[in-house]
Structure formats: structure tokens, C-alpha cells
Amino acid sequence: MAGIATMYSMRKTLWCGLVVLLFGATAVAAESNVEYGRYLVENLGGCVDCHTPQLPNGEYDKTHWLKGAMLSFQPIHPIPHWKAASPDITPSGPKWKKWGEAGFVKFLETAAWPDGAW
């Protein structure tokens, strides 16, 4: 009987170890995806440059991170539907609520609006 209990204990330990490895790897992968996304937004994509207002000292206002800002440039010639301010692109903003994650992904991958407009 002691052998069965030991085998059960070993099986349970192995199973728990496997679960920790699998879910731990998933959590690490998810965390690295978040970090990669943050890196793209803050460094490569330049999203912060237009979508975050700047303080008088030139630093970004972290209390309004990606919440939209007045643009410091405008087109030389009129552009239909031009806006003087960039939108709030955070999940709590109206653009996100209208487009959803899939809409933002489509826009970033194709430059087309979720409804297909260019």
C-alpha cells in the first residue's frame, strides 16, 4: 500500500510541476507580449509623440498617457476629415470602444479603418 501512496504522490508532484511549467510559460509569454507591445508603442511606433500631451518642460504628461493631444502640425493643403487633435487610443477611450481590439489590429496591420475605409 505504501508503494501506491508513494507513486500517487510522485504522480501528483509531476502533474503539479507540469501545470506550473505550462501556465508559468503562458504567463511569461503574455508578459513578454505586453512588454513587446509597450516597446513598439513607446519606442518604434512613435504613438506617444502624437497621442500624449507634453508638459511645458517637454516631457510627456504621464497622467494623460495615450489619451490624445493637440497636434503640433497641420497639413499644408486641406485634407478631408483632418482633426487638429489625435484621439484617445487607450482601452477606456471612445475610439477603442467603437473599434475594439480587432479594429485597432486591422488598422495597424492594413492602415484601413475597421469599416474598410481608407
Asked if residue 117 belongs to a domain, the reply is: no
Asked if residue 47 belongs to a domain, the reply is: yes
Domain that holds residue 71: 2-110
User: What three-state secondary structure class fits 78?
Assistant: coil
Asked if residue 79 belongs to a domain, the reply is: yes
Asked if residue 115 belongs to a domain, the reply is: no
pTM above 0.85? Answer: no
Least confident of 14-23, 60-69, 79-88, 96-105: 14-23
Q: Which positions ≥6 away from 93 have C-beta within 8 Å?
A: 67, 68, 87
Count: domains in the chain: 1
- Whether residue 69 contacts residue 50, with contact meaning beta carbons closer than 8 Å, is answered with yes
Which tens digit of pLDDT belongs to each residue from 4-24?
444 444 444 444 443 444 444
Asked if residue 118 belongs to a domain, the reply is: no
Asked if residue 34 belongs to a domain, the reply is: yes
